[in-house]
Amino acid sequence: MSGPGPPTTILSELAQRHREEVLASRLSAAASLPADQRLPDIAAFIEASALLQAARQLLPLTPPGSAAATAAVGPEAAAR
Amino acid sequence: MSGLCPLGEKQEPLWCEASEACVCKLRCAARILRPFPLIFDRRSSLHSCPCASPCSSRLGRGRLFLAILLTARADYIAPQSLLAAWDVGRRLAEHMNQLPAGSVARLLAALPDTQQPEQAPAAPLQSLLAEQEEEEEQQQHDGQQQRQRRRRHATSQPTSQAEPGVRHTPGQAESSSSQRALGALLLYSYAACADLQREAYHAVRAAARAAHMLEEPAVCAALAAQLAALESAGLELPGRQPLLTAEQLRCACWVRVAERGAQLLSKHRQPGALLITGTTRPRLSPAQQAELEAQLAHAVKSLLGLDPGSARCLMAAAGALAALGHRRQAALLHLRAFQQAAAQQSQYWQLRAAAAVAVDGCKRVSGGGGGSSSGVLPAALAVLEQANGMLSCLELVLPDSWVQRVRSDVSAGRRRVATTRAQAQLIQAFAEDRGGSAQRTGASLAPAAAASAAAGAAGQPSMRRHAAQPSGAPAASIALRKQAAARLASRAFGSEDDLAAVSTTGATLRAPATAALAPPRELDQHAG
């Protein structure tokens, strides 16, 4: 979170970013198809992606898996 | 532990590798499911404290939702099993009407459309709600009757008190408010409705029992710590959650249980697989294995009963059946899955089912009775031939993890076809007494030895005796050889049609096509 980490972490983040870009490009390619021309597999991919996005909003977790809400309410908890 | 997935996976972030960390997400989903009995137990003990219950239920729903999503995301469930829109509720109700929880289904069917909420009658909803409560009362124990009265009281309260997660504009009519409250009960949660809560509890508890066998203590401890942190943070879950019913939950859980169980049993019976994957899980005790097998059998029944037209459910059920040793039934389900996938134009499941049909082989499918596979097997082999083009199309619009799984299945199917074709050539060589032919296939064997090798390759030790009988007589005629070869073919392939299908189609799946079907090098490296 603070400053660059070790090289392996940086490489991991780069690889992760690349995978996210690939996934986003495929999602956009899938979404660009007209709804009536989508195969069930493509529709499932789009739907699952949308649901995953909703889950990320409902229960946010940081990439390492810790709860983002902990950080969000941390100052409030500290103030209390 | 910083930088590591808290669930124990090495360098596998939980969220960001949405397409690649398929295995990690599968494990995470199973592990997230695990603490649910604790959550529900805690809820029941907190029923006397209304202010504590909503927070817990929202957290529970959030985690439940998360678990389902992870499960679905890693390897998708049938699209109709995951509903994100309110207006699809009616379609779901039609499905749920066939389920035992009929009162819930009728309640859902009576809900108004999103576009015309005012036109929905309030009275039927009230009566249905009362009817549902009566049904519940008959099933309740003494301690639960108290909770019934409390719930009835809560339902008569304004919506915001009945379900704190729902937001309503002020000034709504009472009837509309009650409708929305009822809709919120069904739309938002299993926890707010006793029936659904009970269904979800049993489904998740059963799934968690299976998942518990797959867990490692360190991972469970890490997850428990994470969940404790979430609870202490008082996590708020804004917004509306998609509609997920108890039956959908149960289906999803059983799909996962079936697949995980099948995977585990498969590895358990093949110790070499454990070495390859590096899994260090302890072996199951006989009691654990018996319980897992019972759950697999239940999973098959649930899957086939809930969504018999889904290729995905059929494949999962077939996997569970194969793990239980019912390979013939599993092969039949693979055939059905292939047909359903073709009818639904799902290339993903079509390829996977075609590969499964090829892996099953002809004998298990037709079983000597003939007919059942005569049309499907050539079609499946034809799909395998066209797999290259279909995969090229799929990898443009689907995640790598999905495509990679199809590639893996296709490769396994291709290997099976090649093996079967070699067996067919050996048997033909034996029948025609062509030692040279056998040599051309790469097996420099005498005809009798070729037949014996074919029998051995087919996994039929008893066939060796059949092969040895005619070869033992030095003056055996060609007719006798052909007769013995027909017996071998019948035992190995079920019918001559199947043999012909594999022989002809397999010829086109030889080396050039084999190379074309092999996964790209980078995918192999990634898989490694």
HSE-up (13 A, CA, CB side) for residue B392: 5
Please give the residue of chain A at the shortest CA–CA distance from B347: A41
Q: pLDDT truncated to tens, each residue of chain B (528 aa)?
A: 233 323 333 322 222 222 223 333 334 443 433 332 222 222 222 222 222 223 333 333 334 444 444 344 333 333 222 222 222 333 333 433 333 333 333 333 333 322 222 333 333 333 434 444 454 455 555 555 555 554 454 443 333 333 333 333 333 333 333 333 333 333 332 222 334 334 434 443 443 343 344 333 443 443 444 344 434 433 333 333 333 444 444 444 455 555 555 555 555 444 333 333 333 344 556 665 666 666 667 667 766 765 677 787 788 778 777 767 788 888 889 999 999 999 988 888 899 999 998 888 654 444 444 444 567 888 888 999 889 999 998 888 887 777 887 898 899 888 888 887 777 777 777 766 654 444 444 444 444 454 555 545 444 444 444 444 444 445 556 666 666 666 666 555 545 555 555 555 443 333 333 333 333 332 233 322
Per CB-CB distance under 8 Å, the chain A contacts of B4 are 64
Per CB-CB distance under 8 Å, the chain A contacts of B230 are 67, 69-70
B 227-246 near A (Cβ less than 8 A): 229-230, 233-239, 241-242
User: Chain B within 8 Å of A48 (Cβ-Cβ)?
Assistant: yes
Q: What is the pLDDT of residue B482?
A: 66
Mean pLDDT of A15-43: 82
Per CB-CB distance under 8 Å, the chain A contacts of B237 are 58-59
Burial of B89 (0-12, 13-18, 19+ CB in 10 A): buried
Phi, psi torsion values for B114, nearest 5 degrees: -65, -35
Q: A20, B239: Cβ pair inside 8 Å?
A: no
Per CB-CB distance under 8 Å, the chain A contacts of B347 are 39, 41
Q: What is the pLDDT of residue B428?
A: 72
B 256-315 near A (Cβ less than 8 A): none
pTM > 0.90: yes or no: no
Q: What is the pLDDT of residue B416?
A: 83
Q: What is the pLDDT of residue B388?
A: 92
Q: What is the pLDDT of residue A24?
A: 82
Q: A70, B233: Cβ pair inside 8 Å?
A: yes
User: Chain B within 8 Å of A28 (Cβ-Cβ)?
Assistant: no
Beta carbons within 10 angstroms of residue B427's beta carbon: 30
What is the gyration radius of the CA atoms in chain A, in angstroms?
A: 18
Q: B73, A48: Cβ pair inside 8 Å?
A: yes
Beta carbons within 10 angstroms of residue A7's beta carbon: 8
Q: What is the pLDDT of residue B353?
A: 92
CB pairs below 8 Å between A and B: how many?
139
Q: What is the pLDDT of residue A10?
A: 75
Beta carbons within 10 angstroms of residue A14's beta carbon: 10
Q: What is the pLDDT of residue B391?
A: 92
- Alpha-carbon gap, residue B247 to B89, rounded angstroms: 13
Phi, psi torsion values for B37, nearest 5 degrees: -55, -35
Test the B interface: residue of A45, A46, A73 with most B CBs within 10 Å: A45
User: Chain B within 8 Å of A25 (Cβ-Cβ)?
Assistant: no
Tally: H helices and E strands in chain B: 27, 0
Mean pLDDT of A37-65: 59
Question: Which residue carries 């395998």 as its tokens?
Answer: B384
3-state secondary structure of B114: coil
Q: What is the pLDDT of residue B447?
A: 46
Per CB-CB distance under 8 Å, the chain A contacts of B346 are 39-41
Give the nearest partner residue to B69 out of A42, A44, A55, using CB atoms.
A55
Q: What is the pLDDT of residue B19?
A: 26
Bigger pLDDT: A76 or A57?
A57
User: Chain B within 8 Å of A24 (Cβ-Cβ)?
Assistant: no
Q: What is the DSSP string of B115-159?
A: S-STTS-HHHHHHHHHHHHHHHHHH--HHHHHHHHHHHHHHHS-H
Please give the residue of chain B at the shortest CA–CA distance from A43: B79
Q: A52, B73: Cβ pair inside 8 Å?
A: yes
- Are B92 and B243 contacting, i.e. CB atoms less than 8 angstroms apart? yes
